[in-house]
Structure 1
């Protein structure tokens, strides 16, 4: 049986750290790489931390997303 866990919390509360530890310690746990239209921050790599996409790509594919937020 497959189980999906979703970690939700305020910025900098440890979501990424928790996901990284679980991914490292359990071979059947994997982080979903999400899409973002923002520019990569120092050290972030495309397809590893996020899928960095253009605003146009994002808008053209809105019907493929389960949910999204705009800031």
Structure 2
């Protein structure tokens, strides 16, 4: 059996390599301005107990992100 040798790479710029490893897991998201304005639900619901902090739109967005990631 003839095994192929693994090709080895020699790193010369360790700072860029380390920064690339740090950035590998980052994710940037953009939201429309109208979506951000609907994010909080400050008005009172009329029910007892503490009022809801986030709107249904915000909760749906968070659940969608959790499902796709």
TM-score, scaled to structure 1: 0.17
Higher strand share: 1
Between Structure 1 and Structure 2, whose CA radius of gyration is higher?
A: 2
TM-score where L is the length of structure 2: 0.17
